[in-house]
């Protein structure tokens, strides 16, 4: 695990665990809680690469991965989109999706009143990754976002996913 991932785990542990029932399943919910936080953090990092570089002078992408894919800090500050950057972004999106899948296992562990907010957050943040793909993986000059109407339209599907019946009759596209 890279230093950046270790940092993400530690930074998001408190945030993620606070969404889970503290009195039950603490041991079992640890991995889904950590995964939820890492997935959200990776999504935020990917969405904000250009903005963070230009307005804050910061790059939060894992340096190991930048090196692996041949992406330089100079390239990011110059907002130069190329095949290397696109390949790295695709890799990071797949990594985030892996963490979202792990986090989904924790939703049934939540108290019933906590399931919908967490599930809808998972669904809406997942849509940000889809928007990045729709933008041609350009997170240097474009900001991927989900509109309020898209978020509202997601709620009924998120609610359905929190029900036991969704395991027997999943929505199209669900595993």
What pTM was estimated for this model as a whole? 0.81
Phi, psi of 160 (to 5 degrees): -60, -40
Is residue 154 one of the residues assigned to a domain?
A: yes
| Distance from the Cα of residue 47 to its chain's centroid | 10
Q: What residue numbers bound the domain in which 82 lies? A: 3-168
For residue 173, being part of any structural domain is answered with: no
Structurally, the chain folds into a number of domains equal to 1
How far is Cα 147 from Cα 72, in angstroms, rounded to an integer? 31
Q: Are 104 and 122 in contact (CB under 8 A)?
A: yes
- Does residue 175 belong to any structural domain of this protein? no
Residue 57 sits in a domain of what CATH number? 1.10.600.10
Residue 3's pLDDT is: 44
The closest alpha carbon to 48, from 33, 60, 36, belongs to 60
d(CA 85, CA 92): 10
Q: Is the pLDDT of residue 118 over 60?
A: yes
Q: Residue 11: name the closest of 48, 28, 36, 32 by CA.
A: 36
Is the Cβ–Cβ distance between 161 and 122 less than 8 Å? no
Please report whether residue 174 resides in a domain: no
* 4-59 pLDDT tens trace: 555 455 555 545 555 544 555 566 778 898 999 999 999 999 999 999 999 999 99
């Amino acid at each position: 695990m890279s230093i950046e991932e270790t940092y993400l785990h530690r930074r998001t542990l408190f945030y993620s665990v606070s969404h889970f029932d503290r009195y039950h399943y603490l041991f079992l919910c640890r991995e889904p809680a950590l995964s939820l936080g890492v997935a959200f953090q990776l999504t935020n990092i990917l969405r904000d690469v250009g903005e963070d570089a230009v307005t804050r002078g910061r790059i939060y992408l894992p340096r190991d991965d930048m090196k692996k894919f041949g992406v330089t800090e100079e390239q990011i500050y110059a907002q130069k989109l190329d095949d290397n950057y696109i390949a790295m972004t695709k890799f990071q999106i797949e990594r985030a999706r892996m963490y979202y899948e792990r986090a989904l296992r924790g939703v049934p562990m939540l108290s019933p009143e906590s399931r919908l907010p967490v599930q809808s957050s998972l669904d809406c943040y997942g849509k940000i990754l889809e928007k990045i793909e729709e933008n041609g993986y350009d997170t240097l000059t474009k900001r991927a976002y989900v509109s309020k109407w898209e978020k509202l339209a997601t709620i009924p599907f998120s609610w359905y996913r929190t029900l036991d019946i969704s395991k027997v009759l999943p929505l199209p596209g669900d595993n």
